[in-house]
Structure 1
Amino acid sequence: MKHTFLKKHHEECLCLFQVRFEVVTSEASYCRSLDIVVENFVMAKQLNVILSSQDKNWLFSRLNDVRAISHSFLSHLEQAVEKDIMRFTVCDTIIKHCPRFRNVYVPYLTNQSYQDKTYQRLMEESHEFRRVVEKLERNPVCQRLPLRSFLILPFQRITRLKLLVQNIVKRTAPKTKDEAQAIKAMKLLEKMIQDSNESISQMKNIESLVTLNAKVDFECRTLPLISQSRRLVREGPVTELRDFSLKDREEERNVYMHLFNDYLLVSLRKEGGRFTVIDHAPVSELRVENCRFKLHSLQKNLFHLHMPQKALLLRTDTQANKLRWISALSRPYPEIDFSAVQGMCTSCFKRNCRVKVNSLMLLI
C-alpha cells in the first residue's frame, strides 16, 4: 500500500514537473519565433522603405514590446530553473509579469483586426509589398512559415500559457501555497484575455459607429453617434404603414432602423448606402406592442412602436423577424405603473395588463 502511494505521488510530481518545464521550453521557442519576425520582417530595410509609418504601426503594432517582455519573462523562468531544477515554480514568475503582459498584449490583440486588414490591403494593392514579403518568407530561418503565422503568435501564446497554468492547477496539491499561486496566475491570465476581448469588441463598435456616422444625415435634431459606451444591438429594414386603412400601398414606405443599447434611429435609405435619419429616441422612452391580428387581408407581421412624439405601425417580412424586433425593442423589465391605474375602469386595466404581459412573454 505504501509503495503504491509513493509511486502515485512520484508520478504526480513528475507530471507537474513536466508541465512547469513545458512553460519554460515553449516560452523559449516562442521567443525564437519573435526574434525571427522582428529581425527578418520588422527590421527589414526593404519593408521600411515601402511602408508608411501608419501602415507599419498597424501591421507590426507593439511587436517589439511583446518580444522584450517575453525575453524578460524567459530570463526569469530560466533563473528559477537554475536555482532549483527539481522544485522550481513558474506561477510566481507569471504573477510578477502579468502587469507588463497586460500593457503589451491587450493593445496588440486589440489591434489585430487592423493588422489583418492592413496586411490584406497591402497584399492586394501593393505589388512591391507582396514581392518583398514573399522574398523575406523564403529566408530559411522562417522554415517556410508565412508572415501572418508570425503575426498571430502573441494571441496563440497567451492562450496556450493560460492552458498550461490550468494544467498546473489540476496537478498541484490542494490547499497549498503552490496551488494558491497557480490559481492566482490562472485568474490573472483569464482576466487579461477577457480584457483583450472586451477591448476588441469596443474597438469594433467604435469603428462601426465611425463608419455609420460618415453615412448619415439628420433631417431631425442631430444626435452625436460616436460614444465608447454605445453598441449596436440590431439593425435592418421594416415597412412603415402611414395610412391606417392599410388599403393604399402608396401610404407605405421603407424605413431602416438602427437600434443601439441606448438609442433608436429611424432612417430612410438613400443611394450609395447613405441614410437620412427622420427620427430618433432613447431606448428608455420606447414602447412596443404586438399586433396579433391582421388589420387587412394582405397585412400581417405588424407591430406598434411608440416613440415620444409619435407612434409607428410597422411591418416586417416574416413573423420571426417581427418577434426579434419586438424582443430587441422591449425594455428588459417592463413595469406596470400602478399609480396610473387608479381611476381607470376595470376593462382598461385588464387591457393594459395584457399588453404588458404579452411584452414580457415575448422577452422570455
Structure 2
Amino acid sequence: MREELESNLLCDMLCDVIHRHTSSHFGAYVDYIRNMPYQEQTMHNLGRKNPQIMEILRELQDDQRCYRLPLKSFLVLPFQRITRLKILIENILKSTEQGSERQMSAEKALRALIKVVEACNREVGRMKMMEEIVHIANKTEFECKALPLVSSSRWLVRQGQLAQLSEKENIFGHRKLCHIYLFLFNDLLLVTTRKGMDRFVVRDHVHRSLIEVSEGLEEKEDLECASWERMFCLALLKNQRGTTSQFLLQASTHAEKITWMEVLSHRVDGMEGIYEEWGFLEGRRLVDGERGWFPDYCAVQVTNEYVQRKHLRQRRHVLQTANRILNRRHTVAQATACFR
C-alpha cells in the first residue's frame, strides 16, 4: 500500500493490493486470533509464577507512550487492522461509479476481507467454547465411569441447577427435594452434584440421543409440597452402566422447565455400530417378562445405533404402559374384593 501511494496519489490500485494480500497472506490473522486465548493464559500463568512481571506491565501501562492502555489493547491491534481495512473499502465503494472497474475491484476486495473477518469470528467463538469445556473438565470429577470431556467437536448447550425428588421416603412417608446440576452438551448429558462452591461430582452420564423427557404426572399423589407446574421427568434410557435411570426434577420457574424440556428433547443421533453375531440369542418377552433362547435366524440384528436408541425409547413406553395397566388391574381387584 505504501509503494502504491508513492507511485500514485489517487491509489487507483489500492483495492487490488488489498485483495491480493487478503487472498494470499491474511490467513495469518485467523491463526493469530485462534491463538489469542493461549496468549492470555500464558500471561496469566507468568503473572502467577512471577508477580514482578505484572508490576513491570503496570509501569509500562503508565508510560505516556502507551496512553495508559493495557497490554491486551496492543495484542488485539492486528485484528483491528482487518476491520479497519474493511471500513476503508466500504468508504471507497461509496465514492465509486456504478459499473466501473474500480467498483468491481473494491467489491472483490471487500468480499475477500469479509471472509477473513468471518473466519476470525468463528475462531473466536470456537475457542470460547473450547475454553468453556476445559473449565468444566477442570472442576468436575467422576464418581461413575470417567470419560474425556474435552473435544473439538463438543460444545456446551446449557447448564444449571434443578431440584430432584428423592427416591427414598423419610420416616413420615414423604420424599424430599435435593439439588442436582446438569451439564448438557451437544452429544452428552452429565448429571452432577455440587462439591463445595465450584466443584462437581458426576453421578451419571448418557449420550444425548438416549434422553427422554415427559411431564411426569404419574407420581402426583406422592408430592405434597412440590409445585407440579414446574416439574418434569428425565429418563436416561441407557447410562454409562448400561441401565435405565429416572429423575423427577423441579425447575425454579415454569419458563425454565419449558426451556429444559425443549433442549433435552432435541436428540442428535450418531453413527452405525458393528456387533458380533451368535448362533443363539437370549431374549425377554416384554408382555410378561419371560426369558429364553431362540435361533438367530428368527430375528434381525439391529446394527444401527439410531434404531437401537429408537427401540430403547419404544421399550420404555411399552413398559410404562404395561405398568399402568397392571396398576389399574390391581386397583380394580382391590375394589372388587372390598364389595364382596
Q: Give the drift of 1:175.
A: 2.8
CA distance in structure 2 between the partners assigned to 1:81 and 1:326 by the alignment? 61
Report the counterpart of residue 258 of structure 1 in structure 2. 183
SS across alignment from 2:30: helix
Question: Which one of 65, 74, 91 corresponds to residue 167 of structure 1?
Answer: 91
Q: Kindly indicate whether the alpha-carbon contact (under 8 Å) linking 2:169 and 2:176 is maintained by their aligned counterparts in 1.
A: no
Report the counterpart of residue 84 of structure 1 in structure 2. 8
Q: Kindly indicate whether the alpha-carbon contact (under 8 Å) linking 2:160 and 2:183 is maintained by their aligned counterparts in 1.
A: yes
Question: Where do residues 98-109 of structure 1 align in structure 2 (5 Å cutoff)?
Answer: 98-99=22-23, 101-109=25-33
Question: Which one of 234, 244, 249 corresponds to residue 314 of structure 1?
Answer: 249
The residue identity in structure 2 corresponding to 1:298 is C
CA distance in structure 2 between the partners assigned to 1:86 and 1:218 by the alignment? 66
The residue identity in structure 1 corresponding to 2:225 is L
Q: Give the drift of 1:119.
A: 4.9
Q: Kindly indicate whether the alpha-carbon contact (under 8 Å) linking 2:169 and 2:175 is maintained by their aligned counterparts in 1.
A: no
The residue identity in structure 2 corresponding to 1:265 is L
SS across alignment from 1:162: helix
Q: What residue ranges of structure 1 are gaps of 5+ in the alignment?
A: 1-76, 349-364
Report the counterpart of residue 267 of structure 1 in structure 2. 192
Report the counterpart of residue 17 of structure 2 in structure 1. 93
Report the counterpart of residue 302 of structure 1 in structure 2. 231
Report the counterpart of residue 192 of structure 1 in structure 2. 116
CA distance in structure 2 between the partners assigned to 1:144 and 1:235 by the alignment? 38
Report the counterpart of residue 37 of structure 1 in structure 2. none
Q: Kindly indicate whether the alpha-carbon contact (under 8 Å) linking 1:288 and 1:304 is maintained by their aligned counterparts in 2.
A: yes
- Structure 1 residues 313 and 84, CA gap change in structure 2 (3 angstroms): same
Q: Give the drift of 1:168.
A: 2.1
CA distance in structure 1 between the partners assigned to 2:192 and 2:62 by the alignment? 52
CA distance in structure 1 between the partners assigned to 2:54 and 2:145 by the alignment? 48
Q: Kindly indicate whether the alpha-carbon contact (under 8 Å) linking 1:81 and 1:88 is maintained by their aligned counterparts in 2.
A: no
CA distance in structure 1 between the partners assigned to 2:62 and 2:145 by the alignment? 58
Q: Kindly indicate whether the alpha-carbon contact (under 8 Å) linking 1:169 and 1:179 is maintained by their aligned counterparts in 2.
A: yes
Q: Give the drift of 1:123.
A: 6.5
Q: Give the drift of 1:95.
A: 1.2
Report the counterpart of residue 202 of structure 2 in structure 1. 277
Q: Deviations over 1:247-272 (max 9, x none)?
A: 85654332110001111111122236
CA distance in structure 1 between the partners assigned to 2:173 and 2:26 by the alignment? 61
- Structure 1 residues 172 and 293, CA gap change in structure 2 (3 angstroms): farther
Q: Give the drift of 1:108.
A: 2.3
- Structure 1 residues 313 and 286, CA gap change in structure 2 (3 angstroms): same
- Structure 1 residues 225 and 116, CA gap change in structure 2 (3 angstroms): closer
Q: Kindly indicate whether the alpha-carbon contact (under 8 Å) linking 2:165 and 2:178 is maintained by their aligned counterparts in 1.
A: yes
SS across alignment from 2:158: strand
Cα RMSD (Å): 3.6
Q: Kindly indicate whether the alpha-carbon contact (under 8 Å) linking 1:304 and 1:314 is maintained by their aligned counterparts in 2.
A: yes
Q: Kindly indicate whether the alpha-carbon contact (under 8 Å) linking 1:286 and 1:306 is maintained by their aligned counterparts in 2.
A: yes
TM-score of the superposed pair, with normalisation by structure 2:
0.65
Q: Deviations over 1:31-88 (max 9, x none)?
A: xxxxxxxxxxxxxxxxxxxxxxxxxxxxxxxxxxxxxxxxxxxxxx122233333362
1 or 2 for the larger relative contact order (CA 8 Å, sep ≥6)?
Answer: 1
Question: Which one of 181, 184, 199 corresponds to residue 105 of structure 2?
Answer: 181
The residue identity in structure 2 corresponding to 1:277 is V
CA distance in structure 2 between the partners assigned to 1:151 and 1:311 by the alignment? 50
- Structure 1 residues 314 and 265, CA gap change in structure 2 (3 angstroms): same
The residue identity in structure 2 corresponding to 1:255 is I
Higher normalized helix content (fraction of residues): 1
CA distance in structure 1 between the partners assigned to 2:90 and 2:215 by the alignment? 49
Question: Where do residues 27-106 of structure 1 align in structure 2 (5 Å cutoff)?
Answer: 77-86=1-10, 88-99=12-23, 101-106=25-30
Report the counterpart of residue 241 of structure 1 in structure 2. 165
Higher normalized strand content (fraction of residues): 2
SS across alignment from 1:111: helix
- Structure 1 residues 140 and 242, CA gap change in structure 2 (3 angstroms): closer
Q: Kindly indicate whether the alpha-carbon contact (under 8 Å) linking 2:89 and 2:109 is maintained by their aligned counterparts in 1.
A: yes
CA distance in structure 2 between the partners assigned to 1:289 and 1:176 by the alignment? 62
Question: Which one of 133, 136, 153 corresponds to residue 57 of structure 2?
Answer: 133
CA distance in structure 2 between the partners assigned to 1:104 and 1:221 by the alignment? 41
SS across alignment from 1:253: strand
Report the counterpart of residue 283 of structure 2 in structure 1. none
CA distance in structure 2 between the partners assigned to 1:332 and 1:223 by the alignment? 20
Aligned residues between the structures: 264
CA distance in structure 1 between the partners assigned to 2:148 and 2:21 by the alignment? 40
Deviates more, 1:218-227 or 1:241-250: 241-250
The residue identity in structure 2 corresponding to 1:299 is A
CA distance in structure 2 between the partners assigned to 1:124 and 1:216 by the alignment? 23
Q: Give the drift of 1:145.
A: 5.2
SS across alignment from 2:202: strand
- Structure 1 residues 164 and 332, CA gap change in structure 2 (3 angstroms): farther
Q: Deviations over 1:159-187 (max 9, x none)?
A: 11111212223332233332222222212
Q: What residue ranges of structure 2 are gaps of 5+ in the alignment?
A: 238-243, 269-309, 322-340
